Amino acid sequence: ESVRVPLLARTPATPTCALMVDNQSAKRKAPSVEASDGYFESYAGLGIHEEMLRCRRTDAYLQAIRSAGLAGKTVLDVGCGTGVLAIACARAGARKVYAVEASAVAECARAVVSASGLTGLVEVIRGKVEEVELPERVDVIVSEWMGCFLLYESMLDSVLRARDRWLKPGGSMLPRRAQMWLAPFRDEEAAEEQKAFWADVHGIDMSCLAPVARAELARRPEVELLLAQNVISSPSCVLDIGDLASCDLSDCQSLCASFDLSSHVRAELHGFVGYFAVELVPGQWLSTAPDAEPTHWRHVLFHCELPLPVQQDERIRGRLTMTQATQNPRCWDVVISFGVSGGGEERTQRYELDVRC
């Protein structure tokens, strides 16, 4: 069974701590930070930041920062949020930390830095990282840039542009490596529940609407927690960014990958689950796999419009294609083509990866 967890609504409001800080203290502000697609505004309220701070991903980052050898180094924190990672870098011995944040929560970060006695060592800069100016290049770039299924929100684009502008030759990135994974799943309980619901809606048979509901579900992925027992094969790595310090931006703006998997069980294939893993520092991975401890990213479920019967040990073959959406490159157009070795026509499903609340 899958465990459905509603996404926390992001409140596009200016945090109250913005009133606690003199805005003139922002030494280097980029212009036009308010003119955006709504992305930065979605991170202006503290609710979404509280969810992320409570997530185990924060503990993983703090552990990695402590072991990253930052003593005496300069650090750029891209998208610093409330400032927790920037402060951790300072406490790990960094000589200077530039904490860049485009949303209004930058004022909260500045207040937290001041309360921590780190003003001067940690400089919070309100602005887009593509537009801000720093007085020097840095040794390390730290960022929690990952979105659902790794690439959603396309914050990696900003991080790599910052890398090209501000990272010293031989400098390091945290995280240093990133992978995307895809696996088929089954969910008989959810399928039966939906069928039963439309068959008796307050005493009315609405079964004629069930195909419409399935078609809608099959167009837009869901962000949910999926139990590991619902995954019916080993996963396939569909993207491996081996070195974030040297990869090309263009390699992260589209992808096309094939997969060839063997089903562990006889079941109906109801869709594919997408998740990711990042290597923060050598040997320390943060995984969002179904068999790992849950995170605020959850999993992305790409539902099939119709289930596909699969036999045990049967091959599930296909292709995943992802491109940034034309109208909003923070969202992604996803195409999954798939079939089984036992025969039948190849199916193609198209999705819009846009999980904004």
Active site residues: 144, 153
Q: How far is 174 from 280, CA to CA, in rounded Å?
A: 5
Q: At what angle do helices 106-115 and 84-91 cross, to 10 degrees?
A: 30
- Reported in sequence order, the residue ranges of 116-232 that DSSP labels E, i.e. its strands, are 122-126, 138-142, 167-174, 177-185, 222-226
CA 113 to chain centre: 26
Q: How far is 160 from 252, CA to CA, in rounded Å?
A: 10
Q: How far is 49 from 58, CA to CA, in rounded Å?
A: 11
- Residue showing tokens 């997969």: 259
User: Can you name the residues that pair with 150 across neighbouring β-strands?
Assistant: 147
Amino acid 6 reads P
**Dihedral angle sign, alpha carbons of residues 279, 283, 286, 289:** positive
* Dihedrals phi, psi of 335, to nearest 5 degrees: -125, 125
